[in-house]
A = this chain, B = another copy of it.
Amino acid sequence: MYKINENFQKLPGSYLFSTIGKKVAAYQQANPDKEIIRLGIGDVTQPLAPAIIEALHKAVDEMGNAATFRGYAPDLGYEFLRSAIANTDYKARGCDISADEIFVSDGAKSDSANIQELFAADSRIAVTDPVYPVYVDSNVMAGRTGEYDPKTEMWSNVIYMPSTAENGFVPELPKEVPDMIYLCLPNNPTGTTLTKDELQVWVDYANKNGSVIIFDAAYEAYISEADVPHSIYECEGAKTCAIELRSFSKNAGFTGVRLGFTVVPKELKCGDVSLNAMWARRHGTKFNGAPYIVQRAGEAVYSEAGKAQLKDQVAYYMNNAKVIKDGLAEAGYTVYGGVNAPYIWLKTPENMNSWEFFDFLLENANVVGTPGSGFGPSGEGYFRLTAFGNYENTVKALERIKAL
């Protein structure tokens, strides 16, 4: 009889956002008259910008015409998109990243889950705590994380780097050297980030100790402060120790469009082996390119019209962030984040644990957020709200919270 991958059975419960979805659906079914406001999952609400819609329609028309129809895309992405990315996101910021170091994909979630395939089965990972669940869960499935302790909610073979109010959300360097270090900056879920000098410390650590950094920069478009790096390649030496993940979900509202990319510098080598070549092989074997029409939409993100429209869209969400942050502060909550990121991270009141506060908020304000503990043990006692709602609902949600 065939055998399954037993690592799947080690995963406790279901994926965080599936659990939230089920809880909300059950509440809504029991209370059909309640108007629920969702500030939980980091899903956007604003429609795609006009420049993107225009590019999509144009590409759809091309697909309907034999002369301009496109079949299989290049595995690694169309040159027009890879060049736009290299020029705008990297060269224009002084980072020497070229088009052939950029791998276009169907989104950063896939890439952040798949990137671990490049590393040895017995690699040890380090994650900030709290953390986006995909980094740990994908390594659980690959059998790297050891055993789960339901009491501490920790894996025996994962190095946790607490990131809490106590250390100002600046995690300490790990004492035991990990093989892979996952960093998400600006951070999901805390909404906090590191300055360039603070990030340089991690790059130096990785180069000195032979670790590789998986740097998730999905929220870089929300950075408002000058000393915060938009890419890890702004730090010296990052090209020999870091892979960067990027998303179009949050800067352009592509959560339902699906587009992302990963940067694997050619200088990133393990001995003689190029990780750039490995990731190219992985793409070529296991992926068949992002849709042509979606890659054209991605290109429009870098057009002059697209850039202007998306600047407004980001500003719209960051205004929501301010509404949430100010409103919560006014209501007496202790709040973090929301300055360089679309997430507000709050301390739960009256020693409620994160899921207690989830239920409290759902039942009393009909507002959905995300329990901090769902992101890791150090998230316990915290709660995440997102700025991705629409303005009217965000204002209404805060009025309800203030009235509690």
User: Which residues of A are interface residues toward B (Cβ below 8 A)?
Assistant: 1-6, 8-9, 11, 14-15, 18, 41, 43-48, 50, 52-53, 56-57, 60-61, 63-66, 69-73, 75, 106-107, 109-110, 113-114, 117-123, 133-134, 137-138, 141, 143, 179-180, 210-212, 253, 255-258, 270, 273, 275, 278, 281-282, 284-294, 390
Contacts and interface: CB of A to CB of B under 8 A. Distances in A.
8 contacts: A2-B123, A2-B179, A3-B120, A5-B278, A8-B118, A52-B64, A71-B255, A113-B286
B284 A3 contact: no
A204 to B, nearest CB: 16
Contact of A281 (B8, B50, B255, B285): B8
A120 B257 CA distance: 33
B110 A288 contact: yes
* A-side interface mostly: loop
Given A3-B179, A4-B275, A57-B60, A287 B120 contact: no
Contacts of A282: 8, 141
A293 B297 CA distance: 12
B285 A3 contact: no
Contacts of A3: 119-120, 122-123, 179, 270
Given A109-B288, A281-B15, A282-B141, A46 B63 contact: no
